[in-house]
A = this chain, B = another copy of it.
């Protein structure tokens, strides 16, 4: 006897290991056929539910789906689409329930960040109000590492490893040639409000003379004069200066150093170009030759340098989500809990979605050095285990062999298009 069907959706910016969570969940469901029926994945995330574009993952064998473990991006498609509040747009939530009902879906797994945990929570409230039997479980995912209630977020460790490695490598390059060439290098990294990714660059150095010499965190106010003085000091003392800057750094008046004036679908200001802004500032004030890099999507899709710890945790939260649902839990998210003691250990425990939704976890002030430009030993102790371990994808003819799922066939629709 088979249980009720499952709906799984990937949400928001994708990561190099979000598919590993999908694999963990699907395996967790396949292992419990009495509880779970078919696992449908939303084509383009929650939009797949609203538009009734459901991918039947039972069409794919275990052997095929194992490729999810080493494939970056969102294999079923993700989206930037935030459901409004229940009062403002009750119709949309009702549409979700209508689609779930039409396809005998009794389990909703939402794989995303703050906004998604909020949505999963609201869907559980509405389903309960309507008397529709629906288990709602969040699965954490965000490179920003800013979710509450979990020690860290799947997706972050791999970006951290990429950024720390890239900073170290570029640092060797610049150190080689600073006598006659580039003296200041600025690397822009993601992180709108929380400086976790920028902080990870700090793992590249073991002493003050080693890059990165300056890290700019969005948690602190950017002071151009103080920054330029510090650049000068580093060039004087070390011969060069490597700067790692969060895209979200802002002046005292709240304006971003790299504001473009446009907003994304979530109403957040769209950023870009903090590296050129800083680099030109340096060039004008100090005359030093500069270069800058903007890793952009490269950093969050770099599965070739993902951290094994991150991958293991991404799979584990997917598996735990299936386990929690099978146990009858409601409106929870598998959270990563760090063990006590000097050796890093972790376990997975359920956290209430209500405690996770719409909170942002910033870098604690004691993770940032007094002058505001580096990370402390406390930050190192926190960050270092998260980038541990290598888990290279398989390679073929020199290229990573990533999985391309054929998503052209969604299951047959049973409802009229939404809004009709």
Given A297-B174, A388-B397, verify A169-B77 contact (CB < 8 Å): no
**A168 & B400 in contact (Cβ 8 Å cutoff):** yes
Residues of B within 8 Å of A168, CB to CB, are 399-400, 402
Residues of B within 8 Å of A291, CB to CB, are 272, 296-297
Chain B's closest residue to A387 (CB) is B398
A78 to B307, CA, bound (A): 32
**A176 & B388 in contact (Cβ 8 Å cutoff):** no
Residues of B within 8 Å of A398, CB to CB, are 161, 164, 203, 307, 309, 384-385, 387-390
Given A14-B177, A392-B390, verify A164-B77 contact (CB < 8 Å): no
Residues of B within 8 Å of A81, CB to CB, are 180
Looking at A79, A179, A275, the one whose CB has the most chain B CB atoms below 10 A away is A179
Determine if A348 is an interface residue (Cβ-Cβ < 8 Å). no
Looking at A72, A272, A301, the one whose CB has the most chain B CB atoms below 10 A away is A301
A304 to B75, CA, bound (A): 25
A390 to B397, CA, bound (A): 10
CB within 8 Å of B: which A93-145 residues: none
**A177 & B395 in contact (Cβ 8 Å cutoff):** no
Determine if A273 is an interface residue (Cβ-Cβ < 8 Å). yes
Determine if A265 is an interface residue (Cβ-Cβ < 8 Å). yes
A79 to B176, CA, bound (A): 8
Determine if A372 is an interface residue (Cβ-Cβ < 8 Å). no
**B297 & A294 in contact (Cβ 8 Å cutoff):** no
Residues of B within 8 Å of A265, CB to CB, are 180-181
Could you give, for residues 163-180 of chain A, a 1 whenever the CB lies within 8 Å of some chain B CB and a 0 otherwise? 011101111111111011
**A177 & B397 in contact (Cβ 8 Å cutoff):** no
Determine if A23 is an interface residue (Cβ-Cβ < 8 Å). no
Chain B's closest residue to A174 (CB) is B297
Determine if A21 is an interface residue (Cβ-Cβ < 8 Å). no
Given A74-B177, A179-B79, A180-B79, verify A165-B297 contact (CB < 8 Å): no
**A400 & B165 in contact (Cβ 8 Å cutoff):** yes
**B304 & A169 in contact (Cβ 8 Å cutoff):** yes
Given A71-B172, A402-B172, verify A47-B295 contact (CB < 8 Å): no
**A180 & B297 in contact (Cβ 8 Å cutoff):** no
- In the assembled complex, how far is the CB of residue A358 from the closest CB belonging to chain B, in whole angstroms? 20
**B384 & A73 in contact (Cβ 8 Å cutoff):** no
Chain B's closest residue to A299 (CB) is B293
**A164 & B293 in contact (Cβ 8 Å cutoff):** no
Known: A166-B302, A169-B303. 16 other contacts (CB 8 A): A75-B176, A77-B176, A80-B181, A164-B399, A165-B304, A169-B298, A169-B304, A169-B400, A170-B301, A172-B301, A181-B264, A304-B305, A384-B398, A387-B399, A388-B397, A390-B398
Q: Can you offer 23 A-B residue contacts whose CB atoms are under 8 A?
A: A14-B172, A14-B176, A44-B177, A44-B179, A73-B169, A73-B171, A73-B174, A79-B181, A80-B181, A165-B400, A166-B302, A168-B399, A168-B400, A169-B303, A169-B402, A170-B301, A203-B399, A273-B276, A275-B294, A292-B294, A307-B398, A387-B398, A389-B398
